[in-house]
Structures are given as structure tokens and as C-alpha cells.
Amino acid sequence: MLKIEHLTKKYRGGKKAVNDLNLEIKEGEFIAFIGTSGSGKTTALRMINRMIEPSSGTITLNGKDLSKMNPVTLRRSIGYVIQQIGLMPHMTIRENITLVPKLLKWSKERKDETAEKLIGLVNLPESYLDLYPVQLSGGQQQRIGVLRALAANQDIILMDEPFGALDPITRDTLQDLMKDLQQRLGKTVIFVTHDMDEAIKLADRICIMHNGEMVQFDTPDEILTHPANDFVKEFIGSHRLIQEKPSAKIVDDVMIKPVSITLEKSLDEAIKLMVSKRVDTLFVTDGHGRLLGYLNVEMITSARHTTQSIADTMNREVEFVKTGTKLQDSVRRILIRNLKNITVIDEEKRLIGLITRANIVDMVYDTIWGEENTEQ
């Protein structure tokens, strides 16, 4: 557990950049520091790994005072990820991933083992380890960048606006990856952002900073339902304020029944089904109801004079969420990725529902964010 007590930083001649910060962070938590520019987020973060020495106050990690720990030991347990995620072009993927382990003087065997394990986590083949960044797609390079942050296997990872400069779609994808890896590897992450959506999406608890002080430190739900003061209210924006706890809403509450067809049927049968059900998309399943792909009118029209096979015509890349997913997360994904709809599947990958772009628009205001400005 990381315990921060009365942490203060006063720069020479200036006001206090961080003023009497007190917080406790549990193992495995994802914490976001958020606040306006100049509110002290970076200073606070950098004091945690002693890149900046505090003026006063203490930080202890599992009872050990960080200021008494030697810097090498400290860097083995706390990692710092710089603002931009970019790979070194003259280094192989393997060398890029194991950059920090190399600085920590790990053996070759241990570095190789780590690189091989990590690349598997993002579903890329081990043979990619010996390629150079230019040989990978942009998206693949970004995923390697995220792996690099995790490679030294530190317990705590500090990240200062790592996705700040990326376009919204890439950012969304990397956020999902980061959250997934953080949970799977059980890391504690402290993440600086100025984007409230990012904080809400990723963090277990959010620390809101203003003028060097912590204004509120709580779960996203608690902050949205009970903002501590007007500054917090203003900061999170009235469109996000929640009147009642909506967090119980999950995709299952609102999904509709998708129209599906099994793989062995013909394209003619698919067309007939579309006409009778008045839909422009059909989801393809196997005999056990497991989702395999989808078909739409355009795909059928262009394939129909050469084949009758659904398997040869369908697109296998279907966006899905699992049953029980929070509605707000799915809505965000549909909007940010500009999807027409998103399927809902169960643990066995069986198709059980569909959330469409058309049916979310009505729900957004009243079931997720509440009616705007009702409090004023």
C-alpha cells in the first residue's frame, strides 16, 4: 500500500505546487489524478518516484519510507512512463519492450522471457520481436508502447498523460488495453490526465486537484453523484452529473433481440429473412448460437452472383461486449468508434442481444446522465 502524508512541494520563490496532499492507494488500484493545468498533478506524480524531492511530508510503500530507500530499489518497484508513447526506430521490438529492464540490468534470459510473455498478451506473434517498428502497423506499434510501460514488472506504474496526444479512436483502444493489462497483471497504476472521460473510464478512484490541493478523492460514481463543491461540479460538467445512482444499468437492461441466421443457410434465405424482419443486418451464428460474424445488404448484393455461402460472404469482425457490461461503457464505445451497433455475448460467446446506435440516443440523457440542469 502506498501512503502519502502531508506531501508538499514549494518551488523556489513560488507558491506551493502541491500543498498538504494526503491519500492512501491500495495495491492493484487504478488511480487517476485530474485537474486543470498547473494544479500540481505532474509534481505530485514525480514526487512518488523521487524525480522531484518533496519540500515536506512523507510517502511510504508498504510501511517503508521512500526517502530512505536507495534509488535503484525504488525504480525496481515504481516505474515512470513518459508523456509520449513512441518506439525507438533503430531498436527491434524486443529491445524496445525491454528498454527499462535493460537499464535495471536484467539478464538476457529474463529480458527475453518477459518480451515473449508480453507480446503474447497483445496477440502478436513472437516472431515480431525481431522486427523494427517501421515493419509494424501504427496500431501494433502503439500496443508495443503500452507493453513497454509494463515490462520492468514494477508494482506501481506512474503515467503522465500517456495518451494525451493521440486521436480519439486510438486513445480509446489503448485505454481498453491498458485497463485490461492492469487488471490481468494486478498492477497499481497512478495516471495523470486532464480528460474526465478518460478518468471515469479507467480509474477505480479519482483524485481531483486544484491549486496544489486535493479537492476530492473518490470513486467515479461517488464523484458524479456527490461532487464535493462547485469547483468539482464545474469541472466534471453538468452533462455528466448524475442525480441517482445509475451504475446498476447494464447492457442486458436495454438490449434488443438481434435477428440471426445460422452458417449453413444460403444467401437467398438470408435476404428473405431480412425482408420479413425488416432489418439491414443479420448476425451469423453456429449451431450452438455462438457469434461468428455479420452480413448486411451490401455484402450480400455484391457476393450473390458468385456464391450462396454465408461463410464466404460474412464479415467476421464483429464488435461485442460481454453480458453485464456497464451501459455507459458500451455507449461510449459506440459513439467514439462510430459503430452502428454492438452485440452482447455471454461467457460462451453466444449471441444474446444487440445495442443499436439508434436506440441509445433516447436512453443517453434519461437513463445515464439524468436530465440536465434539474438541480439548478
Interface stretch with Mg ion, choices 41-49, 144-152, 203-211, 221-229 (CB under 5 A): 41-49
Which one of residues 17, 21, 149, 241 is an interface residue with ligand ADP (CB under 6 A)?
Answer: 17
> Would you count residue 94 as binding ligand ADP (CB under 6 A)?
no
Which residue has the closest beta carbon to Mg ion? 42
Helix (H) or strand (E) holding 2: strand 2-10
Q: Please report, in angstroms and rounded to a whole number, the separation of the first and last CA atoms in the chain.
A: 40
> Would you count residue 39 as binding Mg ion (CB under 5 A)?
no
What are residue 205's DSSP bridge partners? Answer: 31
- Counting residues that bind ligand ADP (by CB under 6 A) gives 11
Q: Rg of the Cα trace of the chain?
A: 24
| DSSP for 307-329, written as a single string | --BHHHHSB----EEETT-BHHH
> Residue 258 binds which entry of Mg ion, ligand ADP, none, with Cβ cut-offs from 5 to 8 Å by kind?
none
> Residue 141 binds which entry of ligand ADP, Mg ion, none, with Cβ cut-offs from 5 to 8 Å by kind?
none
> Would you count residue 39 as binding ligand ADP (CB under 6 A)?
yes
Residue (42 or 188) nearer to Mg ion, CB: 42
Using DSSP, state whether 85 is helix, strand or coil.
Answer: coil
> Would you count residue 42 as binding Mg ion (CB under 5 A)?
yes
CA distance linking residue 285 with residue 290, whole number of Å: 5
CA distance linking residue 97 with residue 18, whole number of Å: 33
> Residue 77 binds which entry of ligand ADP, Mg ion, none, with Cβ cut-offs from 5 to 8 Å by kind?
none
Interface stretch with ligand ADP, choices 37-45, 68-76, 88-96, 144-152 (CB under 6 A): 37-45
Residue (42 or 260) nearer to Mg ion, CB: 42
CA distance linking residue 32 with residue 26, whole number of Å: 13
Smallest distance from Mg ion to CB 45, Å: 8
Cell of 355: 445495442
Instruction: Return all residues near 12 (Cβ < 8 A) that are at least 6 apart.
Output: none
Smallest distance from Mg ion to CB 42, Å: 3
Angle at which helices 138-150 and 168-185 cross, to 10° = 30
Smallest distance from ligand ADP to CB 325, Å: 32
- Residue 218's Cβ-count burial label (10 Å; 0-12, 13-18, 19+) is middle
> Would you count residue 54 as binding ligand ADP (CB under 6 A)?
no
Residues lying near ligand ADP in the complex (CB under 6 A) are found at 11, 14, 17, 35, 37-43
Residues lying near Mg ion in the complex (CB under 5 A) are found at 42
